[in-house]
Amino acid sequence: MNFTPPRYTGPAIAAHWVIAALILVAFPLGVYMHELPLSPTKLKLYSYHKWIGITVLLLFVPRILWRITHRPPAPLPMPAWQHRIAEGTHHLLYLLMFLVPLSGWLMSSAKGFQVVYFGVLPLPDLVGKSEDLGDLLKEVHEALNFGLLALVGLHVAGTLKHMIIDKDGTLRRMLPFAK
């Protein structure tokens, strides 16, 4: 296909890849640190994980504002059912980009561990200390993370389908240095 599809804007592309990279670091880090015995290393990794999560949350705000105020390029031709799945997946990804870090912050608050952004900026606790609420929020945070992982997998699978089978230029629309 010799068609050059319309591209996303530079800020949309940058936000997509920066947040994707942060999520792709935070998820395995969370899985890894969870099973470690209590140690200074585990506490340091928890801090890094929280910093990444808060950064995603902070980047989410301008990203969603940009998305609301700047229309994305029109979708490429595809069956209506595929478009609905793609659109639904994107909406759920946006929702989880907000809920996953928020649930982690809530969990930290409930467990009595204040989030200190980059080790210098103490963030307010969002809820009071409560062991039961902390345990519930831990489960919520984990479930949301695995939901996010599944959606990212679906998103990547859709991208690969468009790249390998359809060869329609969908990926080039979001690549930072594509022509």
**Domain-by-domain residue ranges, the chain?**
10-173
Mean pLDDT on 137-164: 96
The CATH number of the structural domain formed by 10-173 is 1.20.950
pLDDT above 90: percentage of residues in the chain: 83
Asked if the model's pLDDT at residue 1 lies above 50, the reply is: no
pLDDT at res. 179: 67
Q: 3 pLDDT band (50/70/90 cuts)? A: low
Task: Please write the tens of the pLDDT for every residue from 74-118.
Answer: 888 889 999 999 999 999 999 999 999 999 999 999 999 999 999
- pTM greater than 0.75 (yes/no): yes
Q: Hey, what long-range contacts does 134-141 have (CB within 8 A, 24 or more apart)?
A: 134/107, 134/110, 137/103, 137/106, 137/107, 137/110, 137/111, 138/107, 138/111, 140/103, 140/107, 141/100, 141/103, 141/104, 141/107
Residue 90: the pLDDT is 94
